[in-house]
Amino acid sequence: MIRNIPKNPVLAAIDKDNLDEADSIVSAIKASVGGIKLGKEFFTSFGPQGILKIAGTDTPLFLDLKFHDIPNTVAGAVRSASKVIAPNMMTIHASGGPAMIRAAADAAAEFDHSPWILAVTVLTSMDDADLAATGVNSTASDQVLRLADLAQKNGADGVICSPLEIKTLRAEFGPDFKLVVPGIRPAGSDHGDQKRVKTPAEALMDGADYLVIGRPISALANPAASVTEILESLG
């Protein structure tokens, strides 16, 4: 099973607990977005079969389950997802450490359709104060850089970062290291629980490869029109 390559940088996040609603949104936008992102809320509700129901086997898919466990368990999870769902990309937590990152990358490489392994650095809902509360005595930007370096050195294809770190990471890790960026909010939209944000055009100009956009698409009455507006803003 080999999925299509995303045709543009917009990945629509469809984290719904209603299968019919999710299916309706995906049907309306899949011809125009680069791909769709399905995460823990959707997966917990509907599992692999729910993902295959709404994404089929051809829609570009970002499987965002943020695996974080001992290396052997994460490797097994990557293999299972690759066999059953065959996503284009999937996430692990960089904070799982070098052995875990390497195990995930090696497991993905076993498949002809080898999905990108993307390491989550610092969640876009967190700022310096949140990190300090967890015992990390670094700024968010410093911690992102540290974890991205760990990810690249241990075989990850790229990272999940906030828009505020794109320029630094692109300069540090070169053009081939994938930067997949949540915390994207079109001008004038509600930031919600995101603390480190930029507009789609700003993030792409800074060097992002893919933009993860959720509520500004999925929460609106006309998701397809929202996608069109976002793509037009990218020029």
180-214 b/e (C-beta count within 10 Å ≥ 16 → b): bbbbbbeeebeeeebbbbbbbbebbebebbbbbbb
Q: Is residue 46 assigned to a domain?
A: yes
Q: Is residue 49 assigned to a domain?
A: yes
Q: Is residue 221 assigned to a domain?
A: yes
Question: Whole-model pTM above 0.85?
Answer: yes
pLDDT at 231: 95
pLDDT at 183: 84
At 225, list the tokens: 């029109």
CATH number, domain of 169, equals 3.20.20.70
Residue range of the domain that includes 80: 10-233
pLDDT at 187: 65
Q: Is residue 2 assigned to a domain?
A: no
Q: Is residue 3 assigned to a domain?
A: no
Averaged over successive runs of 10 residues, the pLDDT of the chain (235 residues) comes to 91 91 94 96 95 94 98 98 97 98 98 96 88 93 96 98 93 97 75 66 96 90 93 90
**29, 86 contact by CB (below 8 A):** no
Q: Is residue 5 assigned to a domain?
A: no
pLDDT at 96: 97
- Domains identified in the chain, total number: 1
Q: Is residue 4 assigned to a domain?
A: no
Q: Active-site residue numbers?
A: 66
The H or E element that residue 210 is part of is strand 210-213
pLDDT at 190: 55
CA neighbor of 211 nearest in space, from 62, 79, 105: 62
User: How far does Cα 109 stand from its chain's mean position?
Assistant: 19
